[in-house]
Amino acid sequence: MTQHLATTDRPADAPADAARRAGWWRDAVIYQVYPRSFADANGDGMGDLPGIRSRLPYLRDLGVDAVWLSPFYASPQADAGYDVADYRAVDPMFGTLADADHLVADAHGLGLRIIVDLVPNHSSDRHEWFQRALREGPASPLRERYHFRPGQGAGGDEPPNDWESVFGGPAWTRTENPDGTPGDWYLHLFAPEQPDFNWEHPAVREEFHAVLRFWLDRGVDGFRIDVAHGLVKAAGLPDLGTHDPLKLLGTGATPCFDQDGVHEIYREWRKILDEYPGERIGVAEAWTPTARRTANYVRPDELHQAFNFQYLASSWQAGALRQVIDESLEAMRPVGAPTTWVLSNHDVTRHATRFANEPGLGTQIRTAGDRELGLRRARAASLLMLALPGSAYVYQGEELGLPDVTDLPDEVRQDPSYFRAEGQDGFRDGCRVPIPWSGTEAPYGFGPAAGGPSWLPQPAEWAHLSVEAQTGDPASTLELYRAALAYRRAHPALGGADNLTWLDAGEGVLSFERSTDDGRTLRCTANITDRPVTVPTPGELALASEPLTQDGDHTVLPADTTAWWTTG
Ligand code: BGC
């Protein structure tokens, strides 16, 4: 897998040193691997750690700095591994702890860092503490580690408060006492198989300190913290006063999300991260109402990064994008944290499909829309994102321009939110379909045998989207990503948080300059309209998401196209 090295400027023999740079996370490109769907080494249809390990050279050659792995821990998979039964064990479907160790070692050898997912808001209902809490009955002290409460009304038949699960339905499930009588209720902001921990309990805090150390000792470079905004609930668990379903993962200020008390937890975690050499990082998955609230998670003594979900949720419209970019940079400035940018992940409809549909449909979309338009806009959006200051997240398959699979039959779907919402919401399986690597027949190199299984079916038209099909084709989305990441690598000064100057480029066009280290500038211009625009050619063309035409000393930028020039 060395054939792509020409597209990066990282020499194969010195990657580890290059990646050990101070503040590495401030401008890192972090690639999200969804282990179920990345690469299946043993041919059972489910991705696994040895599969990921075998594909690490691809990620090195793509030019990313770090890899974030969604959970691979022991789990009954009620929510695709976000229901953890044992935080120190690898689920056999993904491999072994030794596989995880080899993966970290191989990645480091290639100059890649590894970020693992940590799920501290809730455990699986199969976690030993929860199982014992149920078995031992109402007097069990282990119940204090979760939120058990008596029900309301005659006979305690009503849930303790009016909170709704993010996945639909009540956020409470009633237990049965060991003698078979109806018992107390327990809180789960997600599926009933995901009971929420009580973070007021010291044993919960101590356990997670130990879990952090367990993985830090194994060499991981950081943690993506699942539902980081949910750990602390308002005292007394007061009613919300509404029965409107909570938006995905909670976007408003509520008694269950974004309580100020969470920050003390991350201050303790930061001290632990700082005990280890090499700048181990914490990344908050915190869905908050504003970028300012998000900035609270990345104050200097808390976590390092937080996902920019305001950016992810923005439509492909110049005004909206300009506003969210400005607000994001502005919000992070006082706390000195880098801005992050993200367009897709395993919880939302891929951006190639979001932008193929009319704006305003949110992040759970069940219609394919205009695929060609969606891909064109996705390429333009990615090039715009990768020119912005700070750190960027790339979700596996977006570098191939993959769309969501919007027509999965119900019988293959696994997303619990789809079933709890009676098929009206929760289309997350569509972005989780295994990615195509090679060949003309499913599973397209995802698994070892042609015609072999994959846990979600891949569409027939994915043959021409495979890594193999796109490699070496300068017009492909994969080569566009490779070239963009190589450019970032060649110009480390682009990472600087405040290094961006907007230019006036007319209605519907975003244009800005960034200074590079050699005294020149990167000019990025995105035409976010549906018609061509003509701009003065500012310098030497570095990259464009579509072919451009030259008109004397002007360039014609087609509709939905982004270009980078080196100027000065
Ligand atoms: C994860 C989801 C998961 C939920 C509950 C989210 O933030 O990204 O995939 O369903 O947390 O753990």
DSSP three-state, residue 529? coil
In the predicted model, is pLDDT for residue 193 greater than 90?
yes
Q: What is residue 496's predicted lDDT score, i.e. its pLDDT?
A: 79
Whether 467 maps to a domain, the answer reads yes
Q: State whether 272 and 155 are in the same domain.
A: no
Q: State whether 181 and 308 are in the same domain.
A: no
Give the residue with greater pLDDT, 106 vs 288. 106
Whether 451 maps to a domain, the answer reads no
Task: Please report which confidence band the pLDDT of residue 250 belongs to, taking 50, 70 and 90 as the band edges.
Answer: low
In the predicted model, is pLDDT for residue 251 greater than 90?
no
Q: What is residue 4's predicted lDDT score, i.e. its pLDDT?
A: 26
Q: What is residue 15's predicted lDDT score, i.e. its pLDDT?
A: 37
Whether 440 maps to a domain, the answer reads no
Asked whether the beta carbons of 424 and 435 are under 8 A apart, the reply is: no
In the predicted model, is pLDDT for residue 248 greater than 50?
no
Q: State whether 140 and 278 are in the same domain.
A: no
In the predicted model, is pLDDT for residue 2 greater than 90?
no
Q: Name residues whose C-beta falls within 8 Å of residue 64's C-beta, 6 or more positions apart in sequence.
A: 29, 30, 31, 112, 394, 485
Whether 74 maps to a domain, the answer reads yes
Alpha-carbon span 551 to 536, nearest angstrom: 9
Of all atoms in ligand 1, which is nearest to the CA of residue 227? 7
Task: Please report which confidence band the pLDDT of residue 11 belongs to, taking 50, 70 and 90 as the band edges.
Answer: very low
Pairing mode, strands 501-503 and 521-527: unpaired
Of all atoms in ligand 1, which is nearest to the CA of residue 167? 10
Q: State whether 179 and 216 are in the same domain.
A: no
In the predicted model, is pLDDT for residue 16 greater than 80?
no
Domain of 133 in residue numbering reads as 128-187
> At residue 149, what are phi and psi to the nearest 5 degrees?
-145, 150
Alpha-carbon span 273 to 223, nearest angstrom: 10
Q: Is 227 close to ligand 1, i.e. is its CB under 6 Å away?
A: yes
In the predicted model, is pLDDT for residue 165 greater than 80?
yes
Q: Name residues whose C-beta falls within 8 Å of residue 236's C-beta, 6 or more positions apart in sequence.
A: none
| Mean pLDDT in residue range 246-265 | 78
Residue ranges of alpha helices (H) inside 55-195 are 56-62, 97-109, 128-136
CA 158 to ligand 1 centroid distance, Å = 27
**In the listed set 187, 211, 230, which residue is the last one of a domain according to the structure?**
187
Task: Please report which confidence band the pLDDT of residue 14 belongs to, taking 50, 70 and 90 as the band edges.
Answer: very low
Which amino acid is residue 529, in one-letter code?
T
Q: Is 249 close to ligand 1, i.e. is its CB under 6 Å away?
A: yes
CA-based radius of gyration for the chain? 24
Q: Is 189 close to ligand 1, i.e. is its CB under 6 Å away?
A: no
Total of domains in the chain: 2
Q: What is residue 244's predicted lDDT score, i.e. its pLDDT?
A: 60
Q: State whether 307 and 425 are in the same domain.
A: yes
Q: Is 83 close to ligand 1, i.e. is its CB under 6 Å away?
A: no
Alpha-carbon span 185 to 152, nearest angstrom: 10
Whether 113 maps to a domain, the answer reads yes
Q: State whether 120 and 57 are in the same domain.
A: yes
Q: State whether 119 and 177 are in the same domain.
A: no
Of all atoms in ligand 1, which is nearest to the CA of residue 122? 12
Task: Please report which confidence band the pLDDT of residue 18 belongs to, taking 50, 70 and 90 as the band edges.
Answer: very low
In the predicted model, is pLDDT for residue 10 greater than 50?
no
Distances (CA, A) of 406 to 53, 72, 325, 354, 547: 29, 26, 29, 11, 29
Q: Which residues of 268-280 are buried (b: 16+ CB within 10 A; e: fewer)?
A: ebbebbeebeebb
DSSP category for residue 32: E
Give pLDDT tens digits for 345-387: 999 999 999 999 999 999 999 999 999 999 999 999 999 999 9
| Mean pLDDT in residue range 261-286 | 98
In the predicted model, is pLDDT for residue 280 greater than 60?
yes
Q: Is the pTM of this model over 0.85?
A: yes
In the predicted model, is pLDDT for residue 12 greater than 80?
no
Whether 495 maps to a domain, the answer reads no
Whether 532 maps to a domain, the answer reads no
CA 107 to chain centre: 19
Q: State whether 71 and 176 are in the same domain.
A: no
Portion of the chain with pLDDT greater than 90, in percent: 90
Asked whether the beta carbons of 147 and 114 are under 8 A apart, the reply is: no
Task: Please choose, from the candidates 457, 471, 330, 338, the residue with its C-alpha nearest in 3D space to the C-alpha of residue 399.
Answer: 471
Q: State whether 344 and 473 are in the same domain.
A: yes
Task: Please choose, from the candidates 319, 327, 263, 273, the residue with its C-alpha nearest in 3D space to the C-alpha of residue 296.
Answer: 263
Q: Name residues whose C-beta falls within 8 Å of residue 200's C-beta, 6 or more positions apart in sequence.
A: 232
Q: What is residue 243's predicted lDDT score, i.e. its pLDDT?
A: 64
Q: What is residue 7's predicted lDDT score, i.e. its pLDDT?
A: 33
Pairing mode, strands 533-536 and 521-527: unpaired
* Residue from 77, 118, 190 to probe ligand 1 pocket by mutation (most atoms less than 8 Å from CB): 190
Using left for φ > 0, alpha for ψ between -120 and 50, and beta otherwise, residue 137 falls in: left
Give pLDDT tens digits for 470-510: 999 999 999 999 999 999 999 988 887 778 999 999 999 99
How many alpha carbons fall within 13 Å on the CB side of residue 481?
A: 30
Domain CATH code at residue 114: 3.20.20.80
Lowest mean per-residue pLDDT among 165-169, 216-220, 448-452: 165-169
Task: Please report which confidence band the pLDDT of residue 20 belongs to, taking 50, 70 and 90 as the band edges.
Answer: low
Whether 340 maps to a domain, the answer reads yes
Q: State whether 387 and 426 are in the same domain.
A: yes
Q: What is residue 518's predicted lDDT score, i.e. its pLDDT?
A: 86
CA 226 to ligand 1 centroid distance, Å = 6
Q: State whether 175 and 209 are in the same domain.
A: no
Give pLDDT tens digits for 418-442: 999 899 999 999 999 999 999 999 9
In the predicted model, is pLDDT for residue 63 greater than 50?
yes
Counting runs of H as helices and runs of E as strands, what totals does the chain give?
Answer: 15, 21
Give the residue with greater pLDDT, 14 vs 261. 261
**In the listed set 484, 499, 519, which residue is the last one of a domain according to the structure?**
484
DSSP three-state, residue 100? helix
Q: 511 forms bridges with which residues in the sheet?
A: 503, 525
| Mean pLDDT in residue range 305-310 | 97
Domain CATH code at residue 166: 3.90.400.10
Q: Tell me the pLDDT of the chain averaged across its residues.
A: 94
Of all atoms in ligand 1, which is nearest to the CA of residue 226? 7
Q: State whether 133 and 120 are in the same domain.
A: no
Task: Please choose, from the candidates 375, 461, 415, the residue with its C-alpha nearest in 3D space to the C-alpha of residue 36.
Answer: 415
CA 494 to ligand 1 centroid distance, Å = 32
Task: Please report which confidence band the pLDDT of residue 5 belongs to, taking 50, 70 and 90 as the band edges.
Answer: very low
Q: Is 285 close to ligand 1, i.e. is its CB under 6 Å away?
A: yes
Q: Which residues are catalytic?
A: 226, 275
Alpha-carbon span 101 to 58, nearest angstrom: 19
In the predicted model, is pLDDT for residue 13 greater than 60?
no
